[in-house]
Amino acid sequence: MLFPDFRGRRLRASKNFRRMIRETKLSCDDLILPLFAIEGNSIKKPIESMPGHFQFSCDHIVTAAKKAHDAGVPAIILFGIPDKKDPLATRAYAPDSIVQKAIQAVKENVPDITVITDVCLCGYMDHGHCGIVENGIIDNDASLDLLAKTALSHAKAGADMVAPSDMMDGRVGEIRQTLDEEGFSHIPVMSYAVKYSSAFYGPFRQAAESAPQFGDRKTYQMDPANSTEAIREVTMDIEEGADIIMVKPALSYLDIIYRLKEEIDLPIAAYNVSG
């Protein structure tokens, strides 16, 4: 159909017309609020690299979660900054550690908000990498058990969903199997399946106090030059039991989101990072 039989401007002529036929809609229903939890009480510590954002003690985490819920945001995702770090990330899966306490505080005070937890080891390792280091190399397979233990500890504390962000091969399957065996088959896994190596993570790493102390993360995070690899990563995570797939950083990889949307039928999360 050509002009003058077709006039596209007819349905752009009023605000209500535009609302009625809008194909893409963004609302609070589509949002997840990241929160950074630290030990202590009555602490609201500004994050210099992200003005307007803070590291919160558990009491302030509850306040922030309540504000988000009242505004219509359905979920938060928690990142923990522990009081101690060591080579085995023991505070990542300790039942009395910061994320576990934050989960319990939020679920007790704001029970209707969904609590998602970031599952990684970098913030709990004294070297800042996302897995166990052996002779300067991140040991993929040795790290899987710790990641699964961390996810399980979050589920036991009351988390509604776990989100592994480490980019170790096989971690979704290890986490899914562990949760199922321990009676948490109802807990979904949102996988950071497509997580590219990116300079945009700089401010976030300051917020989470998780920067690597040597080298970089290019041996496990994805190469920005690759797109077909994203399909392989997503396919593997789906086969291992992922319920939601994430792309990070989102705005730099809208082509990847589009391609995935054409090829898979799982929900796709887009993480807009701080850089």
Q: Which residues are catalytic?
A: 195, 248
Asked if residues 77 and 116 have their Cβ atoms less than 8 Å apart, the reply is yes
118 SS3 class: strand
265 SS3 class: coil
95 SS3 class: coil
CA–CA separation, 70 and 66 (whole Å): 6
CA–CA separation, 11 and 9 (whole Å): 5
3-class SS string, 197-221:
CCHHHHHHHHHHCCCCCCCCCCCCC
What are the Cα distances from residue 88, in Å, to 77, 93, 130, 132? Answer: 23, 10, 11, 7
In eight-state DSSP terms, residue 230 is H
Structure tokens at 76: 């938060």
Tell me the residue type at 129. H
Q: How many CA atoms does the CB half-sphere of 251 hold within 13 Å?
A: 6
Closest alpha carbon to 57 in 66, 73, 71, 44: 44
Closest alpha carbon to 149 in 109, 181, 110, 197: 181
Q: What is the separation of C-alpha 190 from the centre of its chain, rounded to a whole number of angstroms? A: 7
- Residue 202 CB coordination number (10 Å): 14
Structure tokens at 18: 């535009």
